[in-house]
Amino acid sequence: MADPASSRARDVPGTPSSRDAAAQFPAIAGNGTHERVPTALVYCEANFGALDGKTANGLVRHSERYEILTVIDSEQAGLDTGAVLDGTPNGVPVCRDLAHALAHIGRVPDCFIFGMAPSSGMLSANERRIVLEAIALGMDVVNGLHEFLNDDAEFAAAAAAQGVEIFDVRRPRAKKDLRMFSGRIAGVSCPRIAVLGTDGAIGKRTTATILTRALNEHGVKAVMVGTGQTCLIQGARYGVALDAIPSQFCSGEMESAVVEAFEAEHPDVLIIEGQGALSHPAYLTSTFILRGCRPDGVVLQHAPGRTHLGDFPGVVLPTPAAEIHLIQTFADTKVIGLTINHEHMTDTEVSTAIATYEYELGIPVTDALTRPTERLVEMVLAAFPELEERRAARA
């Protein structure tokens, strides 16, 4: 399959359903093998490492689809992106603007990725100018916003003039092709684990990614199903951008993505990325995840250093106990563990929180980023011992 500069499908749907997912982006072949990975810079002005910079944050930590060369954020220019996020340099720098980024790279990358996820889901006037500048330079644009740039006459004309592609990642399939819930999820015989949270932008995708990788390294075949634009941009082969789908079809699209991942991959376990929070007043997609994939277990992500919801400072963050009660009341499932987002916390505070929550909740607790990943694996195997038996039988 050709790279983005040589193959132009004019409008790429943003909610790939499972086996179609690889075909939606040029960097990954249909059989899962990689050809040349396109290079990319990520625009994240004044938001890298912050809540609204979660797309850029996620791409720096993990990207199968693109080679990330730099992140643009004038407030942190000159720093290393890995050091900003996790305290460990990764060699990917932060640059102050597009000109500085291109001078540092020494060439024009294949792609310009808009790396922010503001609650408005729309571009500002200045951001429009920068995206148009990237198009004029010959870069494909990867857009994860609710605003579809292919529907904007100015962007469409600019892309056509330069022969570049705009990928509107959140664009759902045509309404005639959307799926209703069917009950096919009952035929998925392997455990399904959803990684949910007490807030949006709290680390659910990161924990789900690390958990999936850790299980595979342990010999348990785990496949992740994405539910948001960042996961799809990172390279998830299965999933939907759930918050862009009409509510009537959300459970069905969620179910279909999980069923297709199961039928195509025959995994030991499926890990489903969460969105928002079941208790959240605005980001309600957790309801469709719980209804559509009917998880056998839930890992709950929580940020003890957060007192209020990230995008709604007037709303108090729920306690893990309250969220667990809500989840287990709303759905026929069980919360099997708690994972910590360590923002605004010292390592000692993380250790204290782990011990406190384990005592209070009676479930395993860990931090996916700062504690050994074996703890995540143990959390899952304790809840689903048949996974260890299956792994041992294959060994």
Per-residue pLDDT reduced to its tens digit, 98-120 = 999 999 999 999 999 999 988 78
Mean pLDDT (whole number) for 125-152: 97
Q: What is the mean pLDDT of residues 161-175?
A: 97
Which range has highest mean pLDDT (20-29, 117-126, 374-383)? 374-383
pLDDT attached to residue 36: 84
Residue 333 pLDDT exceeds 60 = yes
**pLDDT tops 60 at residue 203:** yes
pLDDT at 20 exceeding the cut of 70? no
Output the six-digit token pair for 167: 């990928």
Instruction: Give the domains, in start order, of the chain with CATH numbers.
Output: 18-171 (3.40.50.720), 177-394 (3.40.50.300)
Alpha-carbon distances of 90 from 48, 60, 62, 82, rounded to whole Å: 15, 9, 12, 5
Report angle CA 86, 63, 254 to the nearest 5 degrees.
Answer: 110
* Chain segment 151-163, per-residue pLDDT in tens: 999 999 999 999 9
pLDDT at 337 over 70: yes
pLDDT band at 34 (very low <50, low <70, confident <90, very high): very low
- Residue 308 gets the label, from left (phi > 0), alpha (psi -120 to 50) or beta, of beta
Beta-strand relationship, 312-316 and 335-340:
unpaired
- CB-CB contact of 29 with 35 (8 Å): yes
| pLDDT average, residue stretch 167-193 | 97
How much is the mean pLDDT over the chain?
92
> What pLDDT band is residue 350 in, cutting at 50, 70 and 90?
very high
The mean pLDDT value for 259-268 works out to 98
Mean pLDDT along residues 121-138:
95
pTM score: 0.90
Q: Which helix (H) or strand (E) holds 312?
A: strand 312-316
How many Cα neighbours within 13 Å face the side chain of 353? 24
State the Cα–Cα distance between residues 368 and 375, nearest whole angstrom.
8
pLDDT at 328 > cutoff 90: yes
Whole-Å CA distances, 20 to 14, 151, 171: 11, 22, 14
Quick one: average pLDDT of 59-66?
Answer: 96
pLDDT tens digits, 211-245: 999 999 999 999 999 999 999 999 999 999 999 99
Looking at the DSSP assignment, which residues form a beta bridge with residue 70? 41
Instruction: Judge contact between 274 and 56, C-beta under 8 A.
Output: no
What are the C-alpha distances in Å from 104 to residues 115, 316, 330? 19, 43, 51
The residues pairing with 114 across neighbouring beta strands, listed in sequence order, are 43
Of the candidates 70, 64, 82, 112, the residue with the CA atom closest to the CA atom of residue 209 = 64
Burial 28-40 (b: 16+ CB within 10 A, else e): beeeeeeeebbbb
Distance CA 76, CA 95 (A): 8
> According to the model, what pLDDT value does residue 393 have?
87
Instruction: Report the pLDDT value the prediction gives residue 33, as an integer from 0 to 100.
Output: 44
| DSSP structure string for 11-67 | ---SS--GGGHHHHSTTB-TTS-B-PPPEEEEE-TTTTTSGGGHHHHHHHH--SS-E
pLDDT surpasses 60 at 30: no
Q: Find the distance separating the first CA and the last CA of the chain, reported in whole Å.
A: 35
